[in-house]
Amino acid sequence: MKTEQKSPTSGEVVFERVTKRYGDVTAVDEVSFRVSAGELVTLLGPSGCGKTTTLRMVAGLEPVTSGRVTIGGEDVTLRAANERNVSMVFQSYALFPHMTVLENVCYGPISMGADKAKARQLAQQKLGMLGLTGLEKRLPSELSGGQQQRVAVARSLVLEPAVLLFDEPLSNLDAKLRRHVRDEIRELQQALALTVLYVTHDQEEALAVSDRVIVMECGRIAQEGTPEELYEAPRSRFLADFIGDANLVDGELRVDAVARRSRRAACACRCAPTACRPARRCSPCGRTACASCRAGRD
């Protein structure tokens, strides 16, 4: 079955009240969000918060327990991975070790029924775009970590998917390279107007690379917003502590003494003191509170 190649901008991911349960354990709990076309959205959170499960449900590697997933306006809730217009860059890169770089990148088009010449042409184009020309005949074991990572990106891009998924793509790179590749991914995304969903547990990486960030905690969305919003107006003690360095000051809350915004913060930190209890809305002011003070912008 040869599906038509959609332009990369047509992808919009919508998650509607999606839940994933493994037996009694709820990994993702009624999560709803939207990734607009051409946007790079990061799923950020500590390990075990459900972010990778969420990504895998977008990819179709895990079936959802309930809820609805749409990609590019099409309901794909019941579609398996190989029937969705998405591609994924894995944490381990998952390059096929017995195939050359070119064979790896040709794999997708050939799976979709392209002939060899066409597949090779598509692959060469993407390899050139990522500066990998000349390495076609190498095996993955003969590449450096950074090169492997780029081959993995080229392999995902070659199908021009509606959505590109990244699962902690930088965690196997050394610190210096990490920054460089991060910027490259962002540039590529903006140049091609790709829709990208990006999973990481690294706050700095998330703030640097994203249009919007979704912070997850215990299978739920803790807060969603632009990097600036998250940095400056964390809704809970967890968020204030998790994103960036902050001085948390406990104190008593008085209406007249505190600005409106910080009162919101104070409220939230009272209402979500324990890790896995969902944050509840709370009354505008209370007796004790904490304020987060950050260095940098005033």
Q: Binding residue for other proteins (CB under 8 A) from 73, 83, 247, 293?
A: 83
Q: Does 144 bind other proteins (CB under 8 A)?
A: no
Q: Does 10 bind other proteins (CB under 8 A)?
A: no
Q: Binding residue for other proteins (CB under 8 A) from 6, 68, 179, 186?
A: 68
Q: What is the DSSP string of the chain?
A: --PPPPPGGG--EEEEEEEEEETTEEEEEEEEEEE-TT-EEEEE-STTSSHHHHHHHHHTSS--SEEEEEETTEE-TT--GGGSSEEEE-TT----TTS-HHHHHHHHHHHTT--HHHHHHHHHHHHHHTT-TT-TT--GGGS-HHHHHHHHHHHHHTT--SEEEEESTTTTS-HHHHHHHHHHHHHHHHHHT--EEEEES-HHHHHHH-SEEEEEETTEEEEEE-HHHHHH--SSHHHHHHSS--EEEEEE--GGGS-HHHHHHHHHHHH--STTSPP----S--SEEEEEE-SS--
Question: Which tokens is 179 given?
Answer: 């920054």
Q: Does 282 bind other proteins (CB under 8 A)?
A: no
Q: Does 195 bind other proteins (CB under 8 A)?
A: no
Q: Which stretch, 105-113, 118-126, 130-138, 231-239, contacts other proteins (CB under 8 A)?
A: 105-113
Q: Binding residue for other proteins (CB under 8 A) from 66, 190, 247, 288?
A: 66
Q: Binding residue for other proteins (CB under 8 A) from 60, 72, 219, 234?
A: 60
| List of residues 6+ apart from 196 with CB closer than 8 A | 35, 39, 40, 41, 163, 164, 165, 166, 185, 189
Q: Does 179 bind other proteins (CB under 8 A)?
A: no
Q: Binding residue for other proteins (CB under 8 A) from 14, 37, 129, 139?
A: 139
Q: Does 6 bind other proteins (CB under 8 A)?
A: no
Q: Binding residue for other proteins (CB under 8 A) from 10, 26, 172, 262?
A: 172
Q: Which stretch, 75-83, 129-137, 215-223, 224-232, contacts other proteins (CB under 8 A)?
A: 75-83
Nearer to other proteins, 148 or 292 (CB): 148
| List of residues 6+ apart from 92 with CB closer than 8 A | 172
Q: Which stretch, 95-103, 231-239, 257-265, 277-285, contacts other proteins (CB under 8 A)?
A: 95-103
Q: Binding residue for other proteins (CB under 8 A) from 9, 26, 77, 262?
A: 77
Q: Does 180 bind other proteins (CB under 8 A)?
A: no
**Rg of the Cα atoms in the chain:** 21
Q: Could you tell me the smallest distance in angstroms from the CB atom of residue 17 to other proteins?
A: 7
Nearer to other proteins, 163 or 209 (CB): 163
Question: Which tokens is 121 given?
Answer: 């042409």
Q: Does 25 bind other proteins (CB under 8 A)?
A: no
Q: Does 98 bind other proteins (CB under 8 A)?
A: yes
Residues near other proteins (CB under 8 A) are 1, 16-17, 19-21, 59-61, 63-68, 75, 77-84, 86-88, 90-98, 107-108, 111-112, 139-141, 148, 155-156, 159, 165, 172
